[in-house]
Structure 1
Amino acid sequence: MFDHAHDGVFVADPSGVLCYVNARLAEMLGCAGAAELLGRPFPAAQWDTNPAFAEMWRQLLAQHHLHLPEVTLRTVDGRVLHVSWAAVCLRSATGDLLAVRGLLAEHAQHPPADNSAGDSYRLLAALAAVADATSSSLDVHEILDASLLTAASVMHAPIGIVRLLDAKGTSLVRAREFGIPAEVELPVRTPLCEGLLGTVACSGLPLLLDEASTDARAVAYERHLGLRSLLAVPLRTQARTVGVLALGARQPGHFTIEDVGVVLSLGLQIGAVVERAQLHQSVAEKERLLTQQIENARDPIINVDLQGYVTLFNHAAEELVGYARADVLEQPLARLVAPERSGAMLAALLGPTGDARTSDVAFITAAGEEVLLEVRVTPLMRAGERIGAQLIGRDVRARRRLEREKESFLATVSHDLQSPLAAIMGYAEFLLSGAAGHLTDTQMQFVEVILQSCRHQLALLRDLLEISRLESTRFQLEKNWVWLDQRLSWLVQAALPQALEKQVDLHAQLADNVPPVWADPNRIERVITNLISNAVKFTRARGRVVVRAFHDDELRAVRVEISDTGIGITPEDLPKLFDKYQRGRLSRAASEGTGLGLYIARGIIEAHGGEIGVESTPGKGSMFWFTLPTGAAPASAL
């Protein structure tokens, strides 16, 4: 409707550069066509030579809209032009300034009376009025009240209704209205696409009627309103419809075709403002819920900025350390941490890595006591930039006490069981040696069963103790430089008697460039021994077991593989093979075992920062592998 308007209309970016000019404005400014003005500053926008215009533009951007009854401009060809000026800022749903849309109405000496303004002038005035009514609030209901009254006032409509789409986009929900007879009860919710307003919401198109109450599409409440004239438009944003604005009157012909364009533009502006307010309220509600969850969390939660100063301190943190939140906020976190750990803690918080980390931290309470927490540190990000860190602590004193009690119990049980088992094994070996007299073949078999059972029980005890250590937070590795190629050669040689007894070909294929790894040699030997022993155990006579080791340049790790031509593992068993007490169905049928060896192997490898896995085909064999990272030893070890 602007292209053929009788008044000049423009759209400019926030700096005053013109993006759109209609033919009338080009003519008013003395140009042959609109193309001469596009991409150039507004002719009057010479900030250094026209301070009055510069001040007017700044006032417009500050107030979001501006209406001046008389402004004097100089045209391109040097004429003096007297105009009425109305402009409004166009903003996105998030409130960002996109552009300025303005109207210039030319007059000789005085501005025209309101009733002589063209449709475009009336539209700009209406947009400015809506902007004025909604600029000071982000409350959806306040915005709708102001917008509805303003739109009805511009259109001289005695009845107004606004309905908004629900969150699912399937219904129109009662929002705001005025002028509704007391005997008419408006439904709270109506299905989308039902009724006159539902039709507008569903189609996204305006609706102009002179006999609304008798229209076949009207639902009960719309008929009971007794409307004849109805003008309904969608409240739209750039991407979607958020509701419907309807204006009505009880006499026919109240609205014209020209009114449709005015109210439709109002609907676009109101829709953008409503979406911005809804977005603001949604973010505010999420922030409220998050704040509530943090405040009510059972674990202490502390946020710090990049300088290590506390920015959030929840109730659980207050109770733990005994300091009030007001005494801690904006203070350095180092004040709450044991002095010997504060430097390391700050280095971990503010270090370059963006990964979450967990470590033990001793906090100092207001009473001067130390409280040990297991703290998980997670980076806080905003727009891709790190702005600080969040600490979530867990009081592990009770858990550590239980761990110590568990370890003590297992150690006691292990000692109490190992002593009689050792005695039984000693006497069994003494009997087998013949020193106590001759044994029959049957008696020899019985004693061998006793000896084998004792060995099995001792192995189980060792496994249980190792699992207890692995699952304890106090588990420690005794690391040193380990040359895996040498260790593998020794361990393959040590396993040869078992392989020869089963008639299995066991050999190693070791690369020449295997670098050393920083690891616990005894525990890595345990993993390798377990994997080689399993491979030999589950490989039939005349089968083959191959041990390989090489450096994986991409992973920066040493990879060890133990391949066999044994019974294999079913696909169903593979995902849980490294779980506690799990053994594949094929292996259960072929051999006895505790089901703890692979679980322990996984714990040891993962404690070194490596990975362990298996590939297998039933009936063809398996390939177990693990990786250990290469690199320099920590400075403390040098």
Structure 2
Amino acid sequence: MPQLPEEVALEFNRVKSLNQFKLEYDKLQDEFENLTKLAATIAETDMAMINLVDNFTLWTISCYGIYNSQMPREESICQYTLKEDEYLEISAIKKDSRTNTKAVGDNNYYIGFPLITPTGEKIGALCIVGKSEKKLPATKIEQLKLVAHEIVEKLALKRDLESARNLVTDALHTQKKLAHDFRGPVNGILGITNLASYEEELTVDEAKTYLNMIGQSSTALLGLASEILKSGNRNNDDEISLISFEELGDRLKDLYLPQAVIKDISLDVNFSLEDSTTMVVRDNLLQIAGNLISNAIKFSPRSERVILELKFNEDSNILTLKVIDSGNGFSIEKIQNIIDGKAIPSAGSNGEIGYGLGLKVVRHLVDERHGNLKIYSVPGRGSEFVVELPQIL
């Protein structure tokens, strides 16, 4: 790949550095107003601005004594400040060849200080203008340099606080996902344990069956926790993980069969023999399918069936995941609420506590995968949840 000319490379890095602050230029006036007022006071002028400069536009994020929101970069005086290492002072704007054609009204003095990031990029300028020709003493120039430095520090702090806020939000989201996705399988394990404890005459084979079921479900829970935590920390450059239909079916049975056994519900995972080795993207797949299965078990009457069907269309590269239950079904209004991502708290067929989060989680995760969620339901006749997930590799 050919190297960019040095000037172009510097400009690219400068604009990239500005973009990393992720600022909303029109919402910063109040946060920086005191600093613009301080700059004008130090320079003994009536006007000061904090300007950020991208490829084409100068954005005024805060101003004092003057109103400006943006202008084409080439029409600004600040474009020249970006070429300076310390500051640019123009005592008489109308006599300077660089600025005598600019629309500056009756202003005739300018001093600008580049806003320099710790890595050396100049993302904008602190600009002070006045009506009279003048030249600032060195002491005031040093004070204004400190103001410019404070502006950059405040911008960096704002960026870091936003990053920290996002990390906390992500951590809370992961915590909620863990708590929610664990509820069903853990209740299933506890249910199996209670069921075994109430058996008056438990054969060795029955005991082994219960213990094996608890062990498999516990192992699957650890795997689910690992996947949820990994998905919360995943970067775009991470290697995409795949899972086969056969492994996915086994994992889901390990997780949710104990929950089904408690209600004497049959849990079936169906796919064609030729699809058993089909590999699909596993990112959040266990959570999507698991929430639908857990929800179906909760709302299905005793001794019924919950069915998961898996299909893969090679032509469209779409994985279709369908969960069928025998519950009470949903009204059109409730279906629309689910599609809109609204939680619907309700009790299960056995009086299980419902928080309305399962389907909301599914809606969110499907959207993250750029997929579709469809619901077919008739009150009193069960429901079908159909999830279509593009397999983008």
TM range (shorter): 0.3 to 0.5
Task: Normalising by structure 1, report the TM-score.
Answer: 0.29
Task: Normalising by structure 2, report the TM-score.
Answer: 0.44
Which one has the bigger strand percentage?
1
Higher RCO structure (Cα 8 Å, ≥6 apart):
2
